[in-house]
A and B are shown apart, each in its own frame.
Chain A
Amino acid sequence: MAAKIDQTQVKKVAKLSRLDLTETEAAEFTGQLSAILEYMEKMNELDTTNVQPLAHCLPISNVFREDAVKESLGTEKTLANAPQRDGEFFKVPKILDEI
């Protein structure tokens, strides 16, 4: 059986996920991911003709909260774990283009 995913796809997914993979890692993960996808393929053997797609694994819906304000962390606590800050802002590498 042919591999379910090739290195080009793995590199693309890695790029989308902002993961920096070495060539060795890309090859290694291609093998691992293919094995997983092959295993998942087994599910196609099931007849799902009359099965509705599942949006959530819990058989419940409509879990809401009331529109009430709770205290926020405040600027100091919010920024406590930030690698870098600039005054009351998070400081990040310059963003060149926006969505």
Chain B
Amino acid sequence: MGELRYRVVVGLEIHVQLCTKSKMFCGCALSFGEEANSRVCPVCLGMPGVLPVMNEQALEYAVLVALALDCKIAEFTKWDRKSYYYPDLPKNYQISQYDLPLGSGGFIEIPLEAGRTKRIGIIRAHLEEDAGKNLHTAGNFSQVDLNRAGTPLLEIVTEPDMSSAAEVRTLAVELQRMVRYLGVSEADMQKGHMRFEPNINLIITKDGVEYKTPIVEVKNLNSFRVLERSVDVEEQRQLDEFLETGEVMGMGNKTTRGWDDINQVTVLQREKEEAPDYRYFPDPDLVPVEFKCEWLEDIRSRLCELPIKRQIRFVDEYKLSDYDAGVLTAERSTAEFFERVVAAGGKPKRVCNLLTQVGLKLANEKGCSVAELDITPKDFAQVSNDVDGGILSASGANKAIELKAQDPDKPFSVIYEENNLIQKSDVGELEQIVEQVIVDNPKAVEDVTSGGKKSKKAQSFLLGQVMQKTKGQANPKVVSEILDRKLG
């Protein structure tokens, strides 16, 4: 057999639930976990004679994302009915946007390793309504809960620009970070706020000839892990299948597969005899939408610095590692709080350590953001500077923050004092202790002064003895200097 090379090509369809208060076309509250069928009205029930009316906020949220994705916003757009015969949408059609999506032709930048980024094209972004939920019971029937029916859903379709499962995951995570920054979706995976459908195929070069395998769409993936895994699994499966059958992409041989999480495989979904016929047509119940300049500019003014841009800036401006910058910019509130602490005088790297080592941990325990810990940016800056000034050790600083979170009204001077957090840096006082340690440990002293290979270890031992005698309060830098001087 001749040489064989292949690469995977993936495009992604993403559905994002927007976090409006009410549904897309009626006043029912969005819900999660409420009693089934309690958040339903005649409009989302599809009763005859009802009139859907657009939720302006949903439209603005959708446009905000489209702008962040650098899409061209349609001057004129409309709503279409997509025929759909499943009981989770009782109207028998879904209100969607067919030929005039509100956004098209954009891109998203995703982070790769070592601070590099890659641009993934966005084909379109449009708004539609979510369906309800069909629940499959053990019995010979299904249950339907329509609480979710009518929830505003933003659909984003990317170009097939991703070339690995890891890139697909990165794009999904970046999009989650983006919609959270924009405040348009909680993007909580556990609550199904984001769902993915990757389109996957391989480009195989065999004996100098290029082949494309048939495209497979994997439906309804709702976690980053499963999304990434399904692409990996599909990559291998398509390669095996190609080697066995030699089938290549052709008219009408795109298939749909589902994910079987127990066996970690994709499963062919029953193929319909004919291509789905959605019979789209303009919805006569809804009037078109025109995006006038002024309105668009108003929405544009609500854009913020996007997370990927902020991450890159944090590396440039604060000389943080790409990893640290990524952690700090994961949530908008953390990134903004970090900058407030730096503005209050904290040194960036030290502040970053404090926030990532203790701030985020505390916030996570309390289920809030770092900004909501009752510890002010000024507090963090003070502790950070006290470490830089030698007053606190790094671990003492973490301890001080933890204690401050428990008792925000207590001043740091008291917290430091009560918990013996202040490092002893007084040379005279430390010299006495060092001298005592030297007298008590002649063997170690000899090892140091003889300069042999045990010298370094012995010096650390002596330092450890001093730390023990001072209950960890001695400033190790000062102690080392004294030891060097006395034994050097």
B139 to chain A, nearest CB (A): 8
Q: Which residue of the partner chain B has the closest CB to A77?
A: B40
**A68 at interface (Cβ–Cβ under 8 A)?**
yes
Within 8 A of A (CB), among B78-132: 78, 83-87
**Complex CA distance for A99 and B140, rounded to whole angstroms:** 20
Within 8 A of B (CB), among A58-78: 58, 60-75, 78
Using Cβ atoms and an 8 Å threshold, which residues of chain A touch B59? 64
**Complex CA distance for A73 and B146, rounded to whole angstroms:** 12
**B183 at interface (Cβ–Cβ under 8 A)?**
no
Question: CB < 8 Å: which of B40, B55, B144, B145 contacts A73?
Answer: B40
**Complex CA distance for A72 and B27, rounded to whole angstroms:** 8
Question: CB < 8 Å: which of B27, B86, B136 contacts A94?
Answer: B136
Using Cβ atoms and an 8 Å threshold, which residues of chain A touch B136? 94-95
Q: Is the CB of B37 within 8 A of A75?
A: yes
**Complex CA distance for A88 and B55, rounded to whole angstroms:** 28
Q: Is the CB of A75 within 8 A of B58?
A: no
Q: Is the CB of B57 within 8 A of A98?
A: no
Given A89-B144, A91-B141, do A65 and B41 touch, yes or no (CB 8 Å)?
A: no
Using Cβ atoms and an 8 Å threshold, which residues of chain B touch A56? 78, 282, 284, 286-288
Given A56-B282, A70-B28, do A93 and B141 touch, yes or no (CB 8 Å)?
A: yes
A-B CB pair tally, cutoff 8 Å: 138
**A18 at interface (Cβ–Cβ under 8 A)?**
yes
Q: Is the CB of B41 within 8 A of A73?
A: yes
Please classify how large the interface on chain B is, using the bins under 10, 10 to 19, 20 to 34, 35 or more.
35 or more
Q: Is the CB of A90 within 8 A of B27?
A: no
Q: Which residue of the partner chain B has the closest CB to A60?
A: B287
**Most A C-beta atoms less than 10 A away, residue of B136, B144, B270:** B144
**Complex CA distance for A3 and B48, rounded to whole angstroms:** 33
Q: Is the interface of B mostly helix, strand, loop or mixed?
A: loop
Within 8 A of A (CB), among B11-34: 20-22, 26-29
**Complex CA distance for A62 and B76, rounded to whole angstroms:** 10
Using Cβ atoms and an 8 Å threshold, which residues of chain A touch B36? 75, 87-89
Using Cβ atoms and an 8 Å threshold, which residues of chain B touch A70? 22, 26-28, 41
**Most A C-beta atoms less than 10 A away, residue of B41, B220, B284:** B41
**A97 at interface (Cβ–Cβ under 8 A)?**
yes
Question: CB < 8 Å: which of A60, A64, A72, A92 contacts B141?
Answer: A92
Given contacts A63-B286, A89-B143, A92-B144, 20 further A-B contacts (CB under 8 A): A18-B85, A60-B287, A61-B290, A62-B287, A64-B55, A67-B20, A69-B28, A69-B29, A72-B28, A73-B42, A75-B36, A75-B38, A78-B38, A90-B143, A91-B143, A91-B144, A92-B134, A94-B142, A97-B269, A99-B276
Instruction: List the 4 closest pairs (A to B, CB-CB), nearest first.
Output: A70-B27, A67-B57, A89-B143, A64-B56
A-B contact pairs, 21 of them (CB 8 A): A56-B78, A63-B53, A66-B56, A66-B57, A67-B22, A69-B28, A70-B27, A70-B41, A73-B42, A73-B45, A84-B141, A86-B141, A87-B36, A88-B145, A89-B144, A90-B37, A90-B143, A90-B145, A91-B142, A92-B144, A94-B140
